[in-house]
Amino acid sequence: MLHTYVTAYSILDRSLVRQGSDPAAALRDTVRFARQAEELGYHRFWVSEHHSVPGVAGSAPTVLAAAVAAATEEIRVGTGGVMLPNHRPLVVAEQFGVLESLYPGRVDMGLGRSVGFTGGIRRALGHGKEDADGFGDALGELLGYFTGTQTAHPGVHALPAEGLRPQVFVLAMGSGADLAAAHGLPMVIGAGPRMVDAVARYRAGFRASAWAAEPYVVVAADVAIGGTAEEAALLQLPEAWSMARSRTGGAFPPLVPAEEVLALEMSPRERAHLEESLKGRIHGTEREVAVALDSLVEASGADEVLVTMNTYDLDRRLDSYRRLAGIVRAR
């Protein structure tokens, strides 16, 4: 049903907590979900990094990626991403060196430049907003630990990373597209109004490297499929509401059932943020989503689509991903 050629469909899971449950259960669900994704034929399974967020359990992506890799056999495993300003490049190189040593040929090192959401979190991490400005230098140092060419700290080697080649991706936040192009790395970008310009700039500025001979674009999108368009829209409501609450109340709360969200008496501000959070998400029946994904891939020239979708009901979430896998196989 999908007509535009895309080499792979992959999954990003943020390990969201659900009402009545706890972070430990969310992490166990992530590992179980990775096994299900592998069975459905998805190409990669990525986890994310968030700190001090009540509704998000994924705070240590390399640790969680190791658990996912241990529980699976063939699917590529990685991070979407490790936020490099929060860490020293040497430590990141060592962690991914261990992962690549234990699971050779399966490890993806997705890197972003976000910093902690609040001043308190940034102080606890020991990093400030200014560290995001040094992302390019930190990225170069990190890559140099794998190639044995880093010069920031002469005589320092990242073991067992040196000589290994996990697949590296740059999340195109801020200047990420330009940095990915300059370093010759694959780029991940969210579907949105700036996508087309960023991809064009990336492809035009790409310089082949030891990491990638050609540009490679991964487009991330929130995708939900149901028996009807209405059912699919309900799948996206719990996460959209938690996002709206984070913008009005300062904290991302655990997911609640869509029915509870519909029954809420929202303030005009909450309603506006909910509607904003729902913008740009793809949902519908298999046929409707196939058409939307074709349009997205055609507009972006994406080589791969990274899908993310969280909802309160785990069975319904799995059904959505199963339906998506079905239309991908039917191309």
Q: What is the pLDDT of residues 55-88, one digit of tens each?
A: 999 999 999 999 999 999 999 999 999 999 999 9
Q: Residue 11 has what pLDDT? A: 98
Cβ atoms of 16 and 254 closer than 8 Å = yes
How sure is the predictor about 3, in pLDDT bands with cuts at 50, 70 and 90? very low
Residue 117 lies in a domain: yes
In this model, does residue 23 exceed pLDDT 60?
A: yes
Residue 323 lies in a domain: yes
Residue 61 lies in a domain: yes
How sure is the predictor about 107, in pLDDT bands with cuts at 50, 70 and 90? very high
Number of domains in the chain: 1
State the residue for tokens 């969680």: 64
In this model, does residue 117 exceed pLDDT 60?
A: yes
Q: Residue 249 has what pLDDT? A: 82
Q: pLDDT averaged over the chain? A: 93
Residue 3 lies in a domain: no
Q: Residue 1 has what pLDDT? A: 46
Q: Residue 52 has what pLDDT? A: 85
Residue 192 lies in a domain: yes
Q: Residue 7 has what pLDDT? A: 67
Q: What average pLDDT score do residues 149-178 get? A: 94
Q: Which residues of 136-146 are buried (b: 16+ CB within 10 A; e: fewer)?
A: bebbbbbbbbb
List strand residue ranges (DSSP E) for the chain, in order. Answer: 8-13, 44-47, 76-79, 82-83, 107-112, 167-171, 187-190, 217-225, 282-284, 304-308
Q: Residue 203 has what pLDDT? A: 97
Residue 181 lies in a domain: yes
Instruction: Quick: pLDDT tens for 24-56.
Output: 999 999 999 999 999 999 999 999 999 888 899
How sure is the predictor about 20, in pLDDT bands with cuts at 50, 70 and 90? very high
How sure is the predictor about 331, in pLDDT bands with cuts at 50, 70 and 90? low
In this model, does residue 89 exceed pLDDT 90?
A: yes
Q: Residue 152 has what pLDDT? A: 94
**Strand 304-308 to strand 76-79: parallel, antiparallel, or no bridges (unpaired)?**
unpaired
Cβ atoms of 5 and 298 closer than 8 Å = no
Q: Residue 131 has what pLDDT? A: 65
Q: What average pLDDT score do residues 109-118 get? A: 84
Domain extent at residue 302: 8-329
Instruction: Quick: pLDDT tens for 263-318.
Output: 999 999 999 999 999 999 999 999 999 999 999 999 999 999 999 999 999 999 99
Q: Residue 222 has what pLDDT? A: 97
Tokens representing 75 are 């699917």
Q: Residue 53 has what pLDDT? A: 87
Residue 2 lies in a domain: no
Q: What is the CATH number of the domain that holds 194?
A: 3.20.20.30
Q: Residue 4 has what pLDDT? A: 52
Q: Residue 175 has what pLDDT? A: 81
Cβ atoms of 202 and 277 closer than 8 Å = no
Residue 1 lies in a domain: no
How sure is the predictor about 251, in pLDDT bands with cuts at 50, 70 and 90? confident
